[in-house]
């Protein structure tokens, strides 16, 4: 009798696992930011989450857009590690800018990448899913450095055998163009 009960319980647990009914740990919210992304007068909240960490990198997280506290869009499997909302193209609306840890069709190495999205009121639309900047990078920030209402992208870039640098980029039609290089010791000053 006990053996039959154990077998039934094991089968029920296996079925629950296959259907995703087994209880999983809640993902960690890495960052959350709020802005009116579609110009309707109501602020959306954007969150990035992390399900687990592998070798120090967030893995299995999502980018989630909430309206009135309820999720209305979820972009899965991008391993986001950073979130910023900024107007990168000068249209007066903030874009969703995420740092993600993933491979790219043009670069099959797991690396940090910058993705830019717009919000149309119902879903995130990819604006730029960058394979890379001019070099690999360890961090990025967005700030309107020249006070023209467009946020420039600053990246702390690294390359084997070369000193770290700050690459400053500006949005141009489809993607970021190189503007200039800054010394790495200026990072804190630039991102304030």
Res. 43: pLDDT tops 60: yes
Half-sphere exposure of 91 (CA within 13 A, CB side): 13
Domain-embedded: residue 43:
yes
Q: Which residue has the higher pLDDT, 77 or 152?
A: 152
| Total number of domains in the chain | 1
* Token couple for 135: 């070099």
User: What pLDDT score does 186 carry?
Assistant: 93
**Rounded mean pLDDT of 28-42?**
96
State residue 82's pLDDT score.
98
Look-up: residue for tokens 């069709």? 105
Return the beta strands (E) in 94-135 as ranges. Answer: 95-104, 107-119, 124-129
Structural domain contains residue 14: no
Say if residue 2's pLDDT is above 60. no
**13 occurs within a structural domain:** no
Residue 131 in any domain: the answer is: yes
Pairing of strands 63-67, 44-50: antiparallel
Q: What is the pLDDT of residues 124-146, one digit of tens each?
A: 999 999 888 999 999 999 999 99
Can you give the CATH number for the domain in which 126 is found? 2.130.10.130
- Closest CA relative to residue 77, chosen from 54, 56, 50: 50
> For 95-125, what is each residue's pLDDT tens digit?
999 999 999 888 899 999 999 999 999 999 9
With a cut of 50, say whether residue 23 has pLDDT above it: no
How many angstroms separate the CA atoms of 69 and 87, rounded?
23
The CA-based angle 46-29-102, given to 5 degrees, is 80
Residue 26: what pLDDT? 83
pTM: 0.84
> For residue 31, what are the domain limits?
27-191
User: What confidence score (pLDDT) does residue 167 get?
Assistant: 96
- Asked whether residue 84 is domain-assigned, the answer is yes
- Contact between 152 and 169 under an 8 Å Cβ cutoff? The reply is yes
User: What is the average pLDDT score of the chain?
Assistant: 88
Distance (Å, whole) CA 177 – CA 180? 9
In a domain, 111, yes or no: yes
Residue 20 lies in a domain: no
Predicted local confidence at residue 4, as pLDDT = 52
């Amino acid at each position: 009798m006990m053996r039959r009960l154990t077998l039934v319980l094991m089968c029920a647990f296996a079925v629950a696992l296959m259907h995703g009914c087994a209880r999983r740990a809640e993902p960690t919210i890495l960052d959350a930011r709020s802005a009116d992304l579609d110009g309707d007068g109501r602020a959306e909240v954007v969150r990035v989450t992390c399900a687990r960490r592998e070798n120090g990198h967030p893995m299995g997280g999502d980018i989630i857009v909430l309206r009135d506290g309820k999720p209305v869009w979820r972009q899965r499997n991008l391993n986001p590690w950073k979130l910023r909302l900024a107007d990168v193209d000068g249209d007066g609306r903030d874009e969703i800018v995420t740092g993600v840890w993933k491979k790219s069709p043009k670069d099959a190495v797991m690396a940090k990448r910058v993705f830019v999205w717009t919000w149309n009121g119902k879903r995130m639309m990819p604006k730029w899913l960058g394979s890379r900047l001019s070099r690999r990078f360890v961090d990025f920030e967005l700030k309107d450095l020249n006070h023209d209402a467009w946020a420039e992208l600053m990246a702390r870039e690294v390359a084997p055998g070369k000193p770290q640098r700050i690459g400053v980029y500006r949005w141009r039609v489809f993607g970021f163009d190189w503007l200039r290089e800054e010394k790495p010791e200026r990072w804190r000053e630039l991102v304030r």
